[in-house]
Structure 1
């Protein structure tokens, strides 16, 4: 378990992390999201004692990182894919880490096989591709068989097979009861991997909630319905107190009614439906909605800017405004 309490980091006048408090729990994959410059990497570095907080506290299973004996057996992390000496082989890089943390030498071969690098184990790492480097970084994180794993952008440089592999690896580690904390900008992959989300913007906590609840709170859900008896369906929906919105392709978008209710209503009145589906925003759309006002670096497309999002009316436990 990773516990952050009031964690703050300032660099002069710049506040990189601002009073962050949340807990990363075992048994699930927790995704860590935020725009560029939100403070994700700084937060992860403070977990590992690489940066010291200006205020607040962060503990790993109840202890500070510097208090851990043989820390690789408690927490394994991938923060920078090429954090090794290019003149060493993959095997010797991992062997050095193992011997300095009291880990049996046999474990080196085990993790090399796990990440698929056995065939190049004796090659110098300076010739490794980005994907091979990611695999070596993951091997180092797994080396001590730790209860806590922390990955920063683990799918960078991986091919589709590699992305599928790391996704299943993280899910498997969580299923074993381990704590898995992962940061990524690849929203489609995060949606397939994470069970829980922690979202920050400009160093502040914006959300700490389940994946499903995050998407539901930050997006519009509606039912899309299409029928050759469109006018009759419109009249029927109006009679039921439902006001649909006309879509550009002739379909209707209905808020405030489930697909089951609309389907049963159409069936009772013998209305033919060609389409009846519930529409929900993607993780990417929900993320953009929540973090729109927290983006530090804005690119310009030459188009008129989109209007600001409607303010949230209600926030559940663990949610905060920026």
Structure 2
């Protein structure tokens, strides 16, 4: 178990983590969510002693990380996939980690095979792709067969097979009773992987709840009906005490009712239905709604009919890529760099 109590980290006048108190329990995959700049990476660094808190406390199975003699037996972490010595082979990188924590050498070969890197074990990681680097980082996290595992953006650079593999691995580890804590910006992947969520914004705790409860509390759920008799259907629903709303496509949306109840009502009144379905928001929609007031970095849409190449944002600020559609008259978008060259008189 990971336990945080009033954990706070300040850098000068900037508060990156602000009084966080929560626990990460064993037996489930716990997702760690927040907008860019929310303090997720800082929090995870504080958990394993890479930063020192300004105030508060964090414990790993009741101990401070820096007091553990062989921490890889207790917690394995992937925070930075490229944080390896580029001159060592993948095998020797893991061997050094193993020797520093009293882990037998045979375990190095086991984890390399587990993550699919046995064929490149004698190659240097500086030539690895991002996905291969991720796999090596995951191997390092698994090296000590720890009871607690922590991953920051573990699917970055992985292909579909790799994403499915790490998702299945995390769920398997949780079913074994281990504590699994994972941070990611990929909401669709998190929705398939995690059962519990910790959400922060601007360093503060916004939610500590189950996945289902989080979506239910932060999104709109309704039943959609499509019928060739929309006006009559609306009258039937109003008479039964419901408050239908007509959507842009002509369907009716009813909140606070079960699909089965509305289906029985339609059958009783001999109302023909072409669709009767419960609509639930995605994790992404629920997350966007909860964190709307905590987003530190906002992107902006391009004005209609304009276009910009890489590095030319709608706001005119460098470094933010943007894309646009051809203008209303169907004129093609300027080639990359064209607007910049015009601005330079070229």
The 5 Å alignment of 1:3-82 reads 3-82=3-82
- The Cα of 1:286 is off from its aligned counterpart by 0.5
Partner of 1:252: 252
Cα distance in 2 for residues equivalent to 1:92 and 1:84: 11
Unmatched segments (≥5 aa) in structure 2: 305-346
Structure label with greater radius of gyration = 2
User: Once the two structures are superposed, what CA deviation does each residue of 1:259-285 show, in whole Å capped at 9, x if it has no partner?
Assistant: 111000011122111100001111011
- The Cα of 1:303 is off from its aligned counterpart by 6.7
Farther-moved stretch of structure 1 (2-11 vs 248-257): 248-257
Cα distance in 1 for residues equivalent to 2:29 and 2:299: 31
The 5 Å alignment of 1:94-243 reads 94-243=94-243
What SS does structure 2 have at the residue aligned with 1:83?
coil
Output the aligned Cα RMSD.
1.1
- The Cα of 1:39 is off from its aligned counterpart by 0.5
User: Once the two structures are superposed, what CA deviation does each residue of 1:56-75 show, in whole Å capped at 9, x if it has no partner?
Assistant: 00000000001112100000
Cα distance in 1 for residues equivalent to 2:45 and 2:257: 46
Report the TM-score, using the length of structure 2 for normalisation: 0.87
- The Cα of 1:229 is off from its aligned counterpart by 2.4
Partner of 1:314: none
Cα distance in 2 for residues equivalent to 1:100 and 1:243: 66
Partner of 1:309: none
**Number of residue pairs matched by the alignment:** 304
- The Cα of 1:302 is off from its aligned counterpart by 4.8
- The Cα of 1:256 is off from its aligned counterpart by 2.0
Unmatched segments (≥5 aa) in structure 1: 305-322
Taking CA–CA contacts closer than 8 Å with sequence separation of 6 or more, which of the two structures ends up with the larger relative contact order?
Answer: 1
Cα distance in 1 for residues equivalent to 2:50 and 2:250: 57
Report the TM-score, using the length of structure 1 for normalisation: 0.93
What SS does structure 2 have at the residue aligned with 1:132?
helix
Cα distance in 1 for residues equivalent to 2:61 and 2:109: 28
- The Cα of 1:87 is off from its aligned counterpart by 1.4
What SS does structure 2 have at the residue aligned with 1:8?
strand
What SS does structure 2 have at the residue aligned with 1:4?
strand
Cα distance in 2 for residues equivalent to 1:52 and 1:241: 58
Instruction: Label 1:96 to 1:42 Cα distance change in 2 as closer, same or farther (>3 A).
Output: same
Farther-moved stretch of structure 1 (234-243 vs 7-16): 234-243
- The Cα of 1:88 is off from its aligned counterpart by 1.1
Is the counterpart of residue 280 in structure 1 residue 299 in structure 2? no
Cα distance in 1 for residues equivalent to 2:294 and 2:278: 30
Farther-moved stretch of structure 1 (35-44 vs 247-256): 247-256
Cα distance in 2 for residues equivalent to 1:49 and 1:125: 25
Segments of 4+ in structure 1 off by > 4 A? none
